[in-house]
């Protein structure tokens, strides 16, 4: 099961060069201006330099959202202007990992792919990704020191580099400042690991923010039902879904159970979440002011800026026994191992990570200087509304990725099948976790996707 970094619906690829998009929205208008921009600052060395002299067509496939795709189209044009011998053919694709698996098997994989670190090992183990270690070692345009360590290190697997990291969308708490002020709270902490911002404090706050009934009911908190958003609460309590050596599950361990029961109680007992079991009426959401706190990735800001008069800010997730740990699975550029234009593809990777290319993305750049200066669209928007964008950067530095395992595709799909049972209170948490543990064991032992 594939879940993108955003909730945008993806459309299929039509041709290798031309793609019909819906009406422009979001970042499109901003990014379009980049078409006439000066060439990026990236330079190349070694084999990559020779790529600028030989005609090459590089197929680039991305998937995050149509709005962000406009940025990558603009960068493709910029790269061609800088290096006329290189033509970049961008396409916006749906269900990318399923598509790429089939395309690679057929010998028609794209040269460059927008890729999530959490899915990297699954493809690297099968020899489907190009080892970028020698390219990165020679690069002067994309050096390790130029990037945030928290993002760069997640592109390594078994001592080799498989992605050139570009960006991430760290998951934080978005909160409605007006709703909090109604109960006497001006703002939430901006400090990751704040000892005063605990699970207990969060639960108490949720009880105060959950009010009313029927179509006017206000809910304190919401998050995606996708299991990966449970992880920060489990991690902060010292637990995990998969054991340390990646041979099986750990979700049945006391640390994980305790955290999951807290989250379960928040939904089932406190009825603080607008999940199906609580029969929410009228579609309560953060956007319409009926949900006070939303746990979401940093790209959530794109939709919020479209909501007139909505006042919001961001904060860390609560602090547990092991601190505060955010989800931060970065995205980067992966190259197909079967590409016929390896040097040109790496040059494109580099150019897609220069500050100009990353300024108008939905998430947060992985370039260290750019991120820490707030030289990117979401930081600039948050500043304009009095928000604290630094929380995004600190989230990266206090983060983990999904389990690094060659079986991640099957692991994700297997755990996802169990989600309804958890959120709908179909089983006691301990029973749910015990059953899920056996499923994860089977996946991690190479037995493939498991039924629930």
pLDDT at 26: 39
pLDDT at 401: 85
Q: How far apart are CA 422 and CA 227, in angstroms?
A: 10
In this predicted model, what pLDDT tens digit does every residue of 33-70 receive, in sequence order?
A: 333 333 333 444 445 456 667 899 999 999 988 889 99
Q: Do residues 352 and 218 share a domain?
A: no
Q: How far apart are CA 298 and CA 5, in angstroms?
A: 9
For residue 398, is it within any domain? Answer: no
Q: How far apart are CA 185 and CA 187, in angstroms?
A: 6
Q: Do residues 278 and 138 share a domain?
A: no
For residue 285, is it within any domain? Answer: yes
For residue 51, is it within any domain? Answer: yes
Q: Do residues 244 and 177 share a domain?
A: yes
pLDDT at 4: 39
pLDDT at 51: 65
Range of the domain at 285: 172-327+403-444
pLDDT at 404: 86
Q: How far apart are CA 172 and CA 215, in angstroms?
A: 27
Domain count, the chain: 2
Burial class from Cβ neighbours inside 10 Å (0-12, 13-18, 19+) for residue 154 reads: buried
Give the single-character DSSP code of 10.
P
List, for the chain, all residue ranges whose pLDDT scores fall below the cut of 50: 1-46, 48
pLDDT at 43: 40
Q: Do residues 413 and 343 share a domain?
A: no
Residue carrying structure tokens 């709270």: 185
Q: Who contacts 94 (Cβ-Cβ below 8 Å, separation ≥6)?
A: 10, 11, 12, 13, 63
Q: Do residues 63 and 160 share a domain?
A: yes
pLDDT at 228: 97
pLDDT at 19: 32
In this predicted model, what pLDDT tens digit does every residue of 211-270 receive, in sequence order?
A: 999 999 999 999 999 999 999 999 999 999 999 999 999 999 999 999 999 999 999 999
């Amino acid at each position: 099961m594939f879940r993108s970094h955003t909730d945008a619906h993806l459309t299929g690829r039509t041709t290798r060069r031309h793609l019909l998009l819906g009406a422009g929205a979001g970042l499109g208008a901003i990014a379009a201006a980049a078409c006439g921009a000066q060439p990026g600052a990236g330079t190349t060395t070694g084999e990559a330099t020779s790529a600028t002299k030989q005609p090459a067509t590089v197929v680039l496939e991305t998937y995050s959202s149509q709005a962000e795709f406009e940025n990558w189209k603009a960068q493709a044009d910029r790269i061609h202007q800088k290096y006329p011998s290189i033509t970049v053919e961008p396409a916006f694709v749906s269900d990318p990992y399923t598509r790429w698996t089939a395309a690679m098997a057929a010998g028609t994989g794209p040269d460059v792919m927008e890729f999530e670190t959490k899915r990297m090992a699954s493809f690297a183990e099968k020899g489907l990704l190009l080892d970028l270690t020698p390219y990165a070692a020679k690069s002067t345009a994309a050096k390790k020191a130029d990037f945030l360590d928290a993002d760069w290190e997640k592109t390594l697997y078994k001592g080799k580099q498989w992605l050139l990291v570009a960006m991430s969308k760290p998951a934080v708490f978005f909160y409605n400042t007006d709703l909090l002020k109604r109960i006497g709270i001006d703002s939430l902490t901006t400090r990751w690991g704040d000892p005063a911002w605990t699970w207990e404090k969060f639960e108490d706050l949720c009880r105060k923010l959950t009010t009313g009934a029927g179509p006017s009911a206000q809910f304190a908190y919401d998050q995606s039902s996708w299991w990966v958003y449970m992880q920060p609460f489990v991690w902060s309590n010292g637990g995990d879904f998969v054991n340390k050596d990646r041979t099986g599950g750990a979700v049945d361990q006391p640390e994980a159970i305790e955290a999951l029961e807290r989250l379960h109680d928040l939904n089932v007992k406190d009825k603080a979440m607008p999940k199906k079991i609580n029969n929410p009426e009228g579609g309560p959401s953060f956007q319409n002011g009926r949900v006070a706190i939303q746990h979401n990735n940093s790209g959530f800001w794109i939709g919020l800026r479209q909501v007139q008069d909505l006042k919001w800010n961001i904060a860390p997730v609560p602090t547990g026994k092991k601190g505060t740990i955010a989800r931060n699975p970065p995205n980067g550029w992966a190259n197909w191992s079967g590409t016929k234009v390896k040097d040109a593809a790496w040059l494109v990777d580099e150019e897609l990570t220069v500050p100009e290319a990353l300024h108008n993305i939905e998430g947060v750049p992985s370039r260290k200087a750019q991120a820490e200066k707030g030289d990117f669209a979401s930081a600039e928007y948050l500043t304009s509304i009095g928000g604290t964008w630094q929380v995004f950067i600190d989230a990266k530095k206090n983060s983990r990725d999904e389990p690094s395992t060659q079986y991640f595709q099957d692991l994700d799909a297997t755990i996802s099948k169990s989600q309804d049972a958890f959120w709908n209170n179909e089983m006691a948490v301990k029973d749910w976790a015990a059953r899920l543990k056996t499923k994860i064991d089977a996946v991690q032992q190479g037995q493939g996707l498991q039924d629930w």
